[in-house]
Homo-oligomer: A and B are copies of this chain.
Amino acid sequence: MTDSADIFEWPLRVYYEDTDAQGVVYYANYFRFLERARTEWLRSLGVDQRELMAVERRIFVVTKTEAEFLASARFNDELIVTARLDGLSRATFTIGQDIYVKDEARTHCVRSTVVAAYLDADNHRPKRVPPDFFSPS
């Protein structure tokens, strides 16, 4: 799991909408960036969340998150947001994520951990994560 080949990377650009009057990215917006990368990571594993909800009535819900804000990203910065599987239990999984500025120093902006649950969309009860979910063949 710690093999670098297993770390998913997603690039994105900082627009005015993401910044605030302190001149940097507003802290809550990093959580939006982190979720974009998780969504694209799942897509890269063959998981289409819209179909999953519509057909199988399964959704992912964040149950816990931690984040350290190490450096500020700014308007127009290109960022790299990562995602890697750090742990998997019956109905939840833990994802380690980082955000870097795509500059020469690869400035480390955010270090984060997210715990997500796999739920029945109708009654929000935990469901077993399919065993091959994170093992694309």
Contacts and interface: CB of A to CB of B under 8 A. Distances in A.
B16 A22 contact: yes
Interface in A11-42: 13, 15-17, 19-24, 26-29, 31-32, 35-36, 39-40
A56 interface: no
Copy number in the complex reads 4
B67 A65 contact: yes
Interface in A23-77: 23-24, 26-29, 31-32, 35-36, 39-40, 48-50, 59, 61-69, 72, 74-76
B31 A16 contact: no
Contacts of A69: 61-64
Which range holds the interface residue count of chain A? Answer: 35 or more
Contacts of A66: 64-67
A127 to B, nearest CB: 15
Name, among A21, A36, A40, A64, the residue most crowded by chain B CB atoms within 10 Å (CB to CB): A21
Contact of A20 (B13, B21, B121): B21
A25 to B, nearest CB: 9
Contacts of A19: 20-21
22 contacts: A13-B36, A13-B40, A15-B39, A16-B20, A16-B22, A16-B26, A16-B35, A17-B26, A17-B28, A19-B20, A20-B21, A20-B75, A21-B21, A21-B24, A27-B31, A28-B28, A28-B32, A49-B76, A63-B69, A64-B66, A64-B67, A66-B67
